[in-house]
Amino acid sequence: MTDGDRGTGKRENEIIIGIDLGTTNSLAATVFEHGPEALHPPGGNAIVPSVLTRRDGGWIVGEEARELRTLEPENTVFSVKRLMGRDEADLKEALKHLPFSVRAAQRGLVKVHVGGEAFTPQEISAEILKFVRARAEEALGRPVAKAVITVPAYFDDAQRQATRDAGRIAGLEVVRIINEPTAAAIAYGLDQKQTGLVAVYDLGGGTFDISLLQLSGVVFKVLSTHGDTHLGGDDFDMLVAGELKRRLLESHPKAELDSPLASQLLRKTAELIKIDLSHAPDTQYTLELPAQGIAESGTFTAETLETLISPLVERTLVSCREVLRAAGKQPGDIEEVVMVGGSSRMPLVRKKVGEFFGRPLNIAINPDEVVAIGAGIQGHLLAGGRRDFVLLDVIPLSLGIETLGGTFSKLITANTTIPAEVDERFTTYVENQTGVDINIYQGEREFVKDCRNLGRFRLKGIPPMPAGLPHVKVTFHVDTNGILSVSAVEERSGTQAAIEVIPSHGLTNAEIETIMDQAVEHAIEDLNHRQLVEFRNMANAVFRGIKLAWSDAEAIMSAGQLKEIQAQMDVVREQAKGNDSVALKKEMDLLGDMTRPLADAIISKAALAELRNFYDETQHP
């Protein structure tokens, strides 16, 4: 079904989808005539696990990659959002828990090493975006070139830049970056209220945000935001995995549980336990590592889980207190609390948040889809759709420059409404200084050593003057995406310089262009690789199906036919070792033609069995 069939009300030549690029899951949404909706291919799921496996020079993305975690642990990448815009020092603790290799690269960048190749987090996130985009195009029946992409409210400039770069590498024009809690509030239609204070509590797979919004008529203003870009469901999983590891070592003291395979198995089991305990008081689990002779079963209770995660849930409440303090409000002032993110489903989380605010929680929309739907509404608005509200978002952390003695001079303070522009004048402290280095930082501390360096540039060509005489005006501009640009001018001479801040550990425009050029240059080769991976997987599935049905085949097919099928299976196996996806598909189609009588017979047999069951039930109720 195309968007024309559904009647979007958009201009035919313009569609801007919303994408929630999540730590655990990603998805897209848009607005149709009947309302906003998450996008999925016919019969498919809207949610794409943010998991990738590198195989045969190509990427497997989504559900299939998630199933490969324990089969190809060293080649399967997950939670890449946590690596976005971060350097090795930021990630020191997190890297200990990852079964795949992440190493330092130039300018503080990190790269993920899989299958003998190295990729930046932006490149890997771009693969997720490409996959989500392809599913959206299949659902809409038309190409998509533009998107609104969401980020945690507490993402700093470097992380926002990295997200925008991932979009560009994926071939998307990122028309807006919007904060996840703000997107969630839009999805809930909170702008329809006349007045009120609303808190949006967003606990996802890898990040946590709390935002406080003031609704007044058509004005939709974020008063304050707080959070932690390294706190979410992944951390709950790690705590459960740690408890499982402790139990295993009690019964198997010599077990090797730090290998990529063991790490992935522990995390996968921990995730299943966490999900089960969201609606049950206890759950059973089994851990098997045949190579080490380990096969252990046990029970995990909700009480144990809550004891483990309670300190992390309390950390979210610290942010709730901080966001209220920044806005000068009390819990009782909040009229509605909106719960967002998959981890917000956990009973302990809902209990603690409800107690903190002293009111029932709003859980009306699927917490996994609400952010994408809000982004889709914002995309609809930017594409010309009508929605009568004014959206005023804020910047999460103060921005400024380094001044004498390593102090941090804040030009734009935290929770300033964006877009924003501020300028401030500085002077020189050295005689006849002809250049000024401008070091740009983000943070809340008083010294730059405790803040995050975003980048630097040099204002040069200042005429020699006595110290204190030059007047250097530095201007910070933050656009509607929360992206920073900085300019400087020496007002006496008119010397000026400007920069769109590329974080000191971010990708340069030249690097992004190179990545995109390589993608175009290798597009046919990459498509062939992808098809090879898909066809090889399909061939293995067909082989398994034939093996299971072989006894039926012997009953209904001649010996000659069976011999032909076996010979053709050998041809397909041999072709799968090569690199020609077209030839492999041709041989698979031929195998499909040979086995069609078998498939028809099995279907008929199943239908006959169903009819017999129906007859027995109706005759002998």
Contact 121, 112 (CB under 8 A): yes
Catalytic residue numbers, as ranges? 20, 81, 180, 202
**Distance from the first to the final alpha carbon of the chain:** 42
Strand pairing of 146-151 and 16-21?
Answer: parallel
**DSSP reduced 3-state for 32:** strand
CA distances from 420 to 313, 392, 477, 573 (A): 33, 11, 6, 61
Length of the chain: 621
Rounded to a whole number, what is the largest CA-CA distance in the chain? 106
Contact 114, 74 (CB under 8 A): yes
Identify the burial level of 555 via C-beta atoms within 10 angstroms of its C-beta, where 0-12 means exposed, 13-18 middle and 19 or more buried: exposed
Q: 326: which 2 tokens?
A: 């920044």
Q: Give 193's Cβ-side CA count (13 Å radius).
A: 18
Contact 338, 198 (CB under 8 A): yes
Identify the burial level of 238 via C-beta atoms within 10 angstroms of its C-beta, where 0-12 means exposed, 13-18 middle and 19 or more buried: middle
Residue 19 is classified by DSSP as E
Contact 132, 418 (CB under 8 A): no
Q: How far is CA 22 from the centre of its chain?
A: 2
Edge-first strand listing for the sheet containing 484-490: 420-426, 472-478, 484-490, 495-500
Nearest Cα neighbor of 17 from 380, 365, 366 is: 380
Cα 395 from Cα 409, distance rounded (Å): 17
Cα 122 from Cα 112, distance rounded (Å): 10
Contact 429, 508 (CB under 8 A): no
Amino acid 511 reads E
Cα 251 from Cα 231, distance rounded (Å): 31
Contact 158, 506 (CB under 8 A): yes
Nearest Cα neighbor of 108 from 92, 126, 93, 86 is: 86
H-helix or E-strand spanning residue 540: helix 523-548
Residues facing 394 on adjacent strands: 417
